[in-house]
Structure 1
Amino acid sequence: MADAALRLTTLAEELLGVPLPVRLRAWDGSEAGPAGGPVLIVRERRALRRLLWKPGELGLARAWVAGEIDVEGDLYDVLDRLAEFIWERPEETRGALEAVRDPKLRAAAGALLRLAGPFPPPAPPAEEVRRRSGALHTRRRDRQAISHHYDVGNDFYELVLGPSMVYSCAYWTEGGTLEEAQRDKLDLIARKLDLKEGDRLLDVGCGWGSMAIHAAREYGARVVGITLSREQAVHARKRIAEEGLADRIEIRVQDYRDVKDGPYDAISSIGMAEHVGEVRYRGYADTLYALLRPGGRLLNHQISRRPAPDEDAYEIDEFIDAYVFPDGELAPMGRTLATLEDAGFEVRDVEAIREHYALTLRRWVANLESRWAEAVRMVSPGRARVWRLYMAASAVSFERNRIGVNQFLAVKTPEGGTSGVALRPRVWNESLQR
């Protein structure tokens, strides 16, 4: 079978109705498709079985994690070229790959099935989350989901994220470093919250403690940070002790629904709300509202997806759900804003920083790729491949405006209507100009 690449390209183009945008190299060493660009390598025939069994994003992800497909050249370029088939018209792609049911394309589909080899496909890679049961976003299920993603080793996260240990979108200026951009993001949030000496800050989903440390060290705040990840809590407490801030910061392994010691002057929720889910989001907003004093502020930093007609408000990504953030759900920013308002908040500012996240993700991918062998030893080859694909694909999604990230500044405005927000609130950006 010395022409597998040509046969595969021909069959795929017949089924999809358009030319393939990348060059293919098949398991027999043959190549076909446009020259001069990156090459998608199909190392094993069973990769086709995975794709035919689970058309679209999940089948491709399983083959990637298993090492059955790879890329020679620019991974971002490949993902950008394939975006139309993976994300932007997935129903058409899925329908074409399931064309065994369509008599008009039965011959091409049958040939592709024969090329793929005997069915069924192999079991999903070990890194895939096994099927879950029960209601979404119970305390127990949320703990399991958070553990799957965050308890893979603090050393691995430090390799990817760098010394800042900030796992959310940075805030960039021209020519800045990742560390500077993450510091600027933390400072931007502190300024939006108007933190002052002695203020009580609740950091929901505190990660490895970076926001808590910044707020206590730079602004004199007293901070409670909560996380469901025990590994994060251990690392955060160690950092806090080394900074000499143990008297100002408390780190708890606690669900946001179980926090009862309000009122707080301010609440930060940075990259956590994506885990809350549609069934709990109004309760999340109500809980944070109740925990704030009158006049207190919430800074909710959250990834969103683009709205589309005739779709549910929230959306689960197959690859992300199976390998990265189980049960994570994205909503359009308008839905988030409306829910915060329904809970009683006055939303005073929304800042969209989509391009900043693409830059952040590309830096994280560069960190991972530069220390690839070390990363593989820390976790597993499959887990490292999950992270490389997830971060690179996310960067492309931000760049193509499929998803965004927004900071909502909301106030628990007291009776009488005095919000405490400056007449020209964007002055918080002035300190970030260098």
Structure 2
Amino acid sequence: MAAIKYQSLVKELLSLAEIEINGSKPWDIQVHDERFYKRVITEVELGLGESYMDGWWEVEKLDEMIYRIVRADLQKKAKRNLKIALRLAGFYLFNMQSRHRAFIIGERHYDLGNDLFQNMLDKRMNYSCAYWKNADNLDEAQENKLDLICKKLYLKTGMRVLDIGCGWGAFGKYAAEKYGVEVVGITVSKEQVILGKELCRGLPVELHLQDYHDVDEKFDRIVSVGMIEHVGYKNYRTYFKVAERNLKDDGLFLLHTIGEVRSTKSTDAWTHKYIFPNGMLPSIAQLAKAVENLFVIEDLHNFGADYDKTLMAWFNNFNSNWDKIKNKYSERFYRMWKYFLLSCAGAFRARNKNQLWQIVLSKRGIPGGYFSIR
């Protein structure tokens, strides 16, 4: 009887998103294990993701399925149980992104293997949203994004730029080559530093394995692309104080970040467990409060729809190159990574949850105003 109840609840919920169990549409779920129903009802996002990793269900268009779930706001309708609440309680009770925990994300995500990211990303190794305006492919879209950042920062030859969360040095390499600036990049990933130094060899680009708290020198410009998602709401104010301390009085700071339309204090349980431990997405309200009396918001640009295209391009690269790296990773990892990329694409496609913002900040306001670039 209980099994029938769980199945009925799942069918009822999914019907609100126009998704059928064992239906014929590309976004309909094909259930291979009846335990799927109880797992989804009792563990919500974690149960949905883990049961996919375990092969309990399949769907032709995973991105389209997630798009419909997010667009219909099914997350709100599926109540969390006590077990899940306890699993995420650390975000509320403790500082999950404190200084002594800073390197966890590097070890568990960015150090998975440079070969994984080389076979997924563009040729410059950008692991953040591309800018698809006037671009025909991922390489062009990522160069567009890098150039957009450089133009928004009004880079000039000889400037020194701090890149907080530099990845493999994609921005530093581009800015040094095209705009003649010096770049100091910091990351908490050992693997990113190793490969990044090789990619930036011969250029005035320094990459350091370093936490953002420990930077203490003045820069003409600061950029941070896809890093504040690991900072945590308890630390936003500290993060911006560090940036303010290290930016010259007439400098500019560009923040590129994924964001949530609602203020939250945790990520979902599946993402926390398998992809971005201790991560969370800021809201505009949280960011605005954190920069108060530290920075003037000069410009805010939302191009979240471009992340859908970016994630689909990453998945196509990952999927087509899987045979090159599958000896190092398991089939369950393949399903996990596929679920990660395609579910994120669907969430950005829905437009009512995840966003992508580029925010330009100054310390005292730009005399005469800031000219916005798109």
The correspondence for 1:83, drawn from 67, 70, 92, is 70
The correspondence for 1:61, drawn from 33, 49, 71, is 49
- Aligned-partner residue type, residue 230 of structure 2: H
**Aligned pair in 2 of structure 1 residues 36, 8: CA closer, same or farther (>3 Å)?**
farther
**Aligned pair in 2 of structure 1 residues 346, 10: CA closer, same or farther (>3 Å)?**
closer
Aligned residue pair count: 364
1:44 paired to 2:33: yes
The aligned residue for residue 84 of structure 2 is none
**Aligned pair in 2 of structure 1 residues 60, 220: CA closer, same or farther (>3 Å)?**
same
Deviation at 1:325, TM superposition (A): 0.8
Q: Secondary structure at the residue paired with 1:358?
A: helix
Would the aligned equivalents of 2:6 and 2:37 in 1 still touch at CA under 8 Å? no
Structure possessing the higher relative contact order (Cα contacts under 8 Å, 6 or more residues apart): 2
CA distance in 1, matches of 2:6, 2:38: 16
Would the aligned equivalents of 1:146 and 1:325 in 2 still touch at CA under 8 Å? no
CA distance in 2, matches of 1:196, 1:237: 23
**Aligned pair in 2 of structure 1 residues 44, 234: CA closer, same or farther (>3 Å)?**
same
**Aligned pair in 2 of structure 1 residues 218, 68: CA closer, same or farther (>3 Å)?**
same
Would the aligned equivalents of 2:163 and 2:223 in 1 still touch at CA under 8 Å? yes
Deviation at 1:149, TM superposition (A): 1.0
Q: Secondary structure at the residue paired with 1:378?
A: coil
CA distance in 1, matches of 2:21, 2:74: 21
Would the aligned equivalents of 1:9 and 1:20 in 2 still touch at CA under 8 Å? no
- Aligned-partner residue type, residue 22 of structure 1: I
**Aligned pair in 2 of structure 1 residues 10, 304: CA closer, same or farther (>3 Å)?**
closer
- Aligned-partner residue type, residue 347 of structure 1: I
**Aligned pair in 2 of structure 1 residues 267, 16: CA closer, same or farther (>3 Å)?**
closer
Cα RMSD between the aligned structures? 2.8
Deviation at 1:285, TM superposition (A): 0.3
The aligned residue for residue 108 of structure 1 is none
Deviation at 1:63, TM superposition (A): 0.7
Unmatched segments (≥5 aa) in structure 1: 26-33, 99-127, 430-434
Give TM-score scaled by structure 1 length: 0.77
Deviation at 1:137, TM superposition (A): 1.4
The aligned residue for residue 157 of structure 1 is 117
CA distance in 1, matches of 2:114, 2:98: 26
1:21-420 equivalent positions in 2, closer than 5 A:
21-25=18-22, 34-54=23-43, 56-71=44-59, 73-83=60-70, 88-94=73-79, 135-241=95-201, 244-245=202-203, 248-260=204-216, 262-307=217-262, 313-342=264-293, 344-401=294-351, 402-413=353-364, 419=366
Deviation at 1:150, TM superposition (A): 0.5
Unmatched segments (≥5 aa) in structure 2: 82-86
- Aligned-partner residue type, residue 225 of structure 1: G
Larger Rg: 1
**Aligned pair in 2 of structure 1 residues 41, 346: CA closer, same or farther (>3 Å)?**
same
Deviation at 1:181, TM superposition (A): 0.8
* C-alpha distance after superposition, 1:203-262 (max 9, x if no partner): 000000000101111111111100000000000001111xx21xx1111000000112x1
Would the aligned equivalents of 2:7 and 2:37 in 1 still touch at CA under 8 Å? no
Deviation at 1:84, TM superposition (A): 5.9
